[in-house]
Structure 1
Amino acid sequence: MSLDTPDQTRSFPSVPCLQGAHSPRLVSVFGALSVAFLAAWGIAFAAVIGLTGFLLGIVTIGGPALGLLWGGYRLERSEIEANRYGRVCQWFVGGAVGFLSLNLLTMAFFPWHDLAGNVFWAHSSINTGAVGGFTVGYVEARAIQREVEATAATVRAERLEDERELLTYLNDLLRHEVLNSSQIIGGHASLLRTECDDDGARDRLETIERESDELIDVITDVRAMLDANRRPEPYSVVDLTALLTEEIDAFRARSDDVELEVDLPETALVRGNKGLTWIFSNLLENAIEHNDGGTARVRVTVDATPETVTVRVADDGPGIPDDVRETLFERKSNNHGLGLYLSHILADRYGGSVELAETGSDGSVFVVTLPHATSAVDEPALD
């Protein structure tokens, strides 16, 4: 439902010529014409009004006229939406006509003693009414605009809060119901397989166990995606060297048959939050996931420049097939789950990127590039 209904915003009949997006220019044109008319009045009645009268005209008419000239320009470049210009211009015209009518009525009973004075009076009345009407219309339009924006912001905030609550619910549901059930199924299948003597049954139990493990991996990725799409933690300056050292140590502890070669600088500061851990944890797991040749070899290097920090994760796996490369970082990439897709999303949020730099029969190289934070007191521009 529109927050700006006709009943709320219209007090004057609609004037078609005042409803266009360029109607503020009419205000500026009026101001310019008022200045020109003032000059013509000064020339025509110079003998009557003298220098004092002309200076009085400049102050009482010229100043407001220049204000209208600037006001139309300012209105067109303000935050006020174009569909409210007509409202401002209607106030502008209404003020000018209304104040002139009131003064004409007064002039009919108490006219000035000469024509120059009456023309000045009428001109001043039009200008004063126009300035007053424009000011009221402009202030009102700004107030309406701010109210609409505040209401829209509140609605967006409520919608985001509802979405966060839904994501939290789905995350909890996956963890407590689906993930736990998958782990129980896989555990029972593993126990039965060790006690089963029937080869056919063992094969089927192995299939159940394998599919259960894959389902657990997918659930883990989905939960990470849900976390990534909730309101992120505030960004801060993170020492990527310390983060990678901790993650590599954890990777060594949970992985068998892996040789890790690491080349890290003393410090490498970037902007981010705990999502950085997910990026590199996923890339390390991905480096050994498809390696079926015994001991996997993984090399992690970090290069820092004044502008960027680049992390290279190289493996000696079989490489990535041509038909997979184009969709590697897409949500539905085959054989790579959601991990690389999430890594891409998170790196992009940090103002960086992740890409496949090299791949072939002798392995693949993934490169993560992030903006370099120059000091621990840098305030992140990302949010």
Structure 2
Amino acid sequence: MGSPGREHRPPRSVCGLSCRPARSGAQPDVTRIGCVPAPRRLNTFRVVASVVFCHTHESMRRTFTPSGLVIALLGFVLTRYTITFAHAEASTAFVVGGIVPLVLGLSLSVCGVALAIGSFETWYVRTIAQWTVLGAGVIGLLIVATVYGGPSSFAEDVRTIGLFSNVLIGGSVGGALTGVYAAQNKAAQRKLLNRQNRLVILNRLLHDRVMNAVTVIKGSAPLLRDGADTGLESVDAILEKAESIEAVMGSVHDLTEPGAGAERQPVDVPEAVETALQQARERHPDATFVAQSLPSDLLAYANHRLADVVGQLLKNGAEHAGVEAPRVAVALDTTPDTATISVSDEGPGLPDKNREALENGTTISERGDPTAGLGLYLVRLFVHTFRGSVHTEVTDAGTTVSIALERVSESAEGESAAPADSSLVGVTPARLGATALSGLIAGVVMGAYMHVTTGVVPVIGALYGTKSLLVGVLTHEFHSLVFALIYAGLLTLLPRWWRTTWIGTAGVGAAWGAVLWLVAGGLVMPIWLNLVGIATPVPNLNPNSLLAHLLWGTVLAVGVQVSRRWFVS
């Protein structure tokens, strides 16, 4: 895992090709973590659905994406801006003229939260955020220029009907949809580029590796036929090249159908590591391979390619160490939820380009030799089919590459496949959608209880400009949806027991409801009401409100468990 280009041979990939670094800035092949391909055809339904229902280390299950919060914050601010302008209008006029921008603005906030905690690549979310801000900014500048350049009566009309804020929300939503299309198109281009590169790789694999093996076999077979003294050597050469052809054909299958046969299943991690170590010692007799902290029994979700992934990292460490007798160490660390395989070498350090290929993914090559970086490309491809994560650390002592996998729980031992909604790389789209539905149901239950017992639901509408039952119900449901999605993100940070058991998820749901009662209901809401002219004590810690929030959290948790057990899985 040292720096390529030295006197030592470049690392070899699983298929035997040189593993040179990919070009800086090359693009990943997929739109989401987990190697989920972009849809072939773009349409509005898929775009909207991908936005709404759409761990860098063992302590975190995914990289948090701040760009999504930019979208959420923009939607909230613009919605509040809309209500400020519409506050002077009568309630009926507000419902008719303000309900559409209210729903659009709150929907933008929900989409932003989903993008922030969902399993999207960082570049994908950033692209949408940039277009969203651009859409709001351009429309805002146009409106401001029109107001200042037009008659004073027009400026007054803009303030009276809330045209400025409404159009601003429209620009943001339009920018967000444009950003989704832009991100999808970029992902499709990257996918096509990778397919093109794969064709070149297949041609070189079949021509160079296979034809070379065939040439050796043709040269050795006549010696056997003629009974030459080199018979045993000829047999060994034929067997070696036959194994080479077999390995190449396996790589051909991986390149042409990267998702085929990639179903996750429980894999004995120590056994896979030992297999990789044995093969590495045979291929690199001058290197020292040390196994540290290998337990006797540990299952994690992966597939038959796990040994190849570890073996590729071992070869990289041995072939780029920069010394005649390199030392490569393998360690296996565990938590209740994860199994982390760490491969460390004493080389000069993994270049940034190679780190980018492992952690964030790159195309095989956009210029020059398309076989460059193939080994690291396949490592990333396989790890993400495991729904695991890759982390690299470069120090003066060398490089450590860590692969985090999801452990098999005791209750799941004996099962032949991984649960559909289990992942180490964040909240899966299926779980995100199920949580959103559960949040809406929990919001209805909580709203009905609050309206019957206290009649406070219309007051929620006052947060946005009017004491309207319709506005109160809508805003309450959007709040419930946002907080439910955050709940899904929080669950990914907790040990498996809290995420998978009825008692655990219910306890987290009730605790989350209590936090919302204390912070959102007890502090934020009364302060907000005072700002809009409704006198409210601060803090306002109403016991009945606590009961309502606990009810909301419990219903949400039950919905999540029901969906997980009977629908998502």
TM-score computed with the length of structure 2 as normaliser: 0.32
Say which structure is richer in strand: 1
TM-score computed with the length of structure 1 as normaliser: 0.45
User: Which entry has the higher C-alpha Rg, 1 or 2?
Assistant: 1
